[in-house]
Amino acid sequence: MKTERMIYRLVWTLILLALPMVVYPQLSKVGTSAAEFLRIPVGARASSMAAYTANINDGSSMVLNPAGLASLSNSEVLVEITPWYLDMTHSFFGAAMPTEKGVFGVHVLSLNYGEFEETTAEAQGLTGRTFSAYSVSFGLSYARQLLPQFSIGGTAKVVHEQIAKSSASALAFDIGTVYQTPFDDIRFGVSVTNFGSKLQMNGNDLIISSDPDESQSGNYEPDAILATQSFDLPLMLKVGLTWDAFERKNARLTLSLDGNNPSNNTQSVSIGGELALANEQVMLRAGLPYIGQEDKIETFTSGIGFRYRTSNGLGLGFNYSYHGYDYLGDVNKLSIQILF
């Protein structure tokens, strides 16, 4: 009884961490946070279902709900490279290893914006030089089962954004839980992601020459630094339910529901499902993300997955997801899993 009370208190603590986000639930605040690459869907399995908080069980757990790592029984490497819009590339690499004391993981998540041609007012256009820009996060994760029906996990990560010679860095944390309820194979999950310090751009590109009096000539022009504001990370609270609606030896149907409460948009709901066939070797998935969110552009998601395990224990997984978007076009995502 004492342990159960501790679990309930922990779950409610995670929910209360995000109370500042619900003070003005209808204020979207779109565009007021930095490091928006952290909100791009990660993991073809999770993103194809749209709702995953209580149902995540692969390497993408490290950035979606770290508690999902606790369900891993084998070491795993997850690699994902997604062509994003224009010349941008969204990439994820994660490796996790179960031990007697829990599951440890490490990940790298990045968005490469490509090369840009430099333009300046002094040159009245192109200078002939180019510069690059990228966003990246490096994280360490740990998860374990405190009880057979309750798991908890956390991720500590460094977030870095670079534009030419200017950059910003922040320290952030993700924490999550998954609870196997006693009600008809229903799991309950809570995650709080991207909770950390603010990002503020600094660097040599912000140094300019300053003329204290443009009305006179011959003035000494000292260097000045352009002032920049600091911006919050895209904090996200998710509360999810997953129900194994149908489960037999060669077939399983899982339905999921997520409640989303971001710091930079309005509240919404995501729904999705997964149909597993051939003894968990073939999976069909679909979902509707962010239902009710203002200004949302993602229309629906779908995907398929294959998993094969050899006689010596080595396993391979291939997951594909399709993301329909308004205005900008569609996105195709492919994840490769190596299990050993």
pLDDT tens-digit series, residues 272-319: 999 999 988 999 999 999 998 877 889 999 999 999 988 777 899 999
More confident of the two residues 314 and 218? 314
Locate the domains of the chain by residue range.
2-194+234-339
Q: Look up the pTM and report it.
A: 0.86
- CA distances, 270 to each of 42, 174, 230, 326, 328 (Å): 15, 20, 31, 17, 21
For residue range 150-191, what is the model confidence (pLDDT) as tens digits? 999 999 999 999 999 999 999 999 999 999 998 878 999 999
**Sequence letter at residue 165:** K
The pLDDT of 91-102, averaged and rounded, is 95
Rounded CA-CA distance 190/5 in Å is 17
pLDDT at 8 over 70: no
Rounded CA-CA distance 254/184 in Å is 12
Top CATH class, 2-194+234-339: mainly beta
Rounded CA-CA distance 256/244 in Å is 9
The DSSP annotation for 285-299 comes to EEEEEEET-TT--EE
